[in-house]
Amino acid sequence: MSPPTRTLLHRLKRLWPYIRHSRAGLVAAGLAALITAATEPAIPLLLGKLLDQGFAGGALPLWVVPVAIIGLFAVRSASGFVAQYGLAWVANRAVLKLRQGMFARMLDNTPALYTQQTSSGMTNTLVYEAQAGVTILSASVLTLVRDSLILVGLLSYLLWLNWQLTLVVGLLFPAVALVMRALGKRLHRLTVEGQKATDELAYVVEENMLAWRIVRLHGAQAQQGRRFFARADAVRRLMMKALVAGATMTPVTQMLASVAIAAVITLALWQSRSGGTSVGDFVAFVTAMLQLVAPAKHLSDVMAPLTRGLAAVERGLDLIETSPVEEGGSHDGGRARGDIELQAVTLRYRDDSPPAVDALTLHVRAGETVALVGPSGAGKTTLAHLLPRFIEPTAGTITLDGVPLAQWHLLALRRQFAFVSQDVVLFNDTVAANVALGAEMSREQVRAALQAAHLLDFVDGLPQGLDTPIGHNGNQLSGGQRQRLAIARAIAKDAPILILDEATSALDSESERAVQAALEALMQGRTTLVIAHRLSTIEKADRVLAMEAGRLVEQGTHAELLASGGLYARLHAMQFRT
């Protein structure tokens, strides 16, 4: 069911799983709102009694007036605070649970999520819209409940005081409901469009934060400024349209209310002149009727923020409730031997695109070191991403130790792989936390991994040693240090299968030799796939696989492929041409 077709009640019900554990706060807020609503009719009642008994007859003791007024507003103030605090307590607990649910679903979602969504859009949904949406909703719901109860209380008092005049007031509500329904649908649509436009604007900012060097190098500031302005202006136009839709509710409602008020006062004056009501009752009725205007206005105004709040929260709810999660089997064979086999595996990133991997059949024996070479776009990295199921093949079967990957439990499958890429990803945490990512490790184990990656001396020289924060994606480290830290993380994992995608590309020659020696020692007894453009780093591989356009065109040892004069020999000749 698409969001525009959902009723308001159904959309609010979707939040119940996130607030049902906070019933105490809801009950306290509800009771406090009820007390506030109950005190509203007391104001015109007190005023009417004061006119009839205080001024006219003088029978009302003077001390009653200040006690009644101060006591009434003390109760209203206390109940108002409890209602607001109680609902805010519920709302903030709901935000916490909603964020937990969204983040958990983001972590176990299918890899397609990360190609279909931008990081800025996900951040906007999870961090900003969740908080803003629930905060707006809590204030809107408080207004909705409190002012609805106030209306019921005042209307009940008016019916008791003069039911004929109250019927005239009652004619106002169907007209207001029709206006709110029509404008509410338009406001919801504009709010959803505004969210998408805001995501696009945030993505432009994100891109320019990441690519600031390229932008300045190419003098593209003016071009990117125009791009930003176009997105920002689109957001502005949608916000203005939403403002018009929301702001229209108030003047329309006020005009309808003015018609009802004018009719009621005219009829009340006619009744008072005919002796049908006292001055106190007339003033009490008019006062109570005028008190209806504020809650009626609040209820008409609440539709706009309520719609915006729901639209903001629903994006997170849709992520939790409707987005697919990764699925795996139940097989967990402990530590794998590392025997990998591909049977006629094909992968297309799009149906209308050529295959990135084309009917590939390959057997990598346990403990074997296999190097993948070929020009850019040959399918080497795609093949590496197929093994831990970061992407799924379009056709064919991949097995690990004779068991199809789809039958492996995902955690058990990915426990078998350590991956080091040329695109290093580090976390804004300590050195130790980055090395021991996802596992409990002793300080000695972390130090041993850093030693093997030839990074321990550098880390020991840092102000806080292993506990030194490394900044956003390790931006407080050099390129070589970042890559050696990623290698230390792979060493610490001690997985039976290593995937090295240009793992030493950011190292100088001296560091590369040292780390290469550490990697070669680590490769012993492990299945290793090495992707490298620098062919000098793979000469010791058990087997070299030359790929082109997603196909395996030749394989053999380094010496055999050089002697055959094929693709590998041509790549080698171009790289070492003097």
pLDDT at 507: 66
Strand 551-556: give its sheet, edge to edge: 417-421, 497-501, 527-531, 369-373, 543-548, 551-556
Give tens-digit pLDDT for 234-290. 888 888 888 777 777 667 766 766 776 777 777 767 766 666 566 666 677 777 777
Average pLDDT over residues 37-57: 69
How far is residue 288's CA from residue 151's CA, in Å, rounded to a whole number? 10
pTM of the model: 0.70
Cα separation, 384 vs 347, in Å, equals 12
- Specify whether the CB–CB gap between 535 and 571 falls below 8 A: yes
Three-class secondary structure assignment of 327-355 = CCCCECCCCCCCCEEEEEEEECCCCCCCC
What is the sign of the dihedral through the CA atoms of 448, 452, 455 and 456? positive
pLDDT band at 535 (very low <50, low <70, confident <90, very high): low
Strands 551-556 and 357-364, sheet pairing? unpaired
pLDDT over 50 at 363, yes or no: yes
The predicted pLDDT at position 263 comes to 72
Cβ(460)–Cβ(303) below 8 Å: no
Domains and CATH numbers, the chain: 7-322 (1.20.1560.10), 340-575 (3.40.50.300)
**Residues 197-238 pLDDT 10s:** 888 888 888 778 777 777 776 677 888 888 888 888 988 888
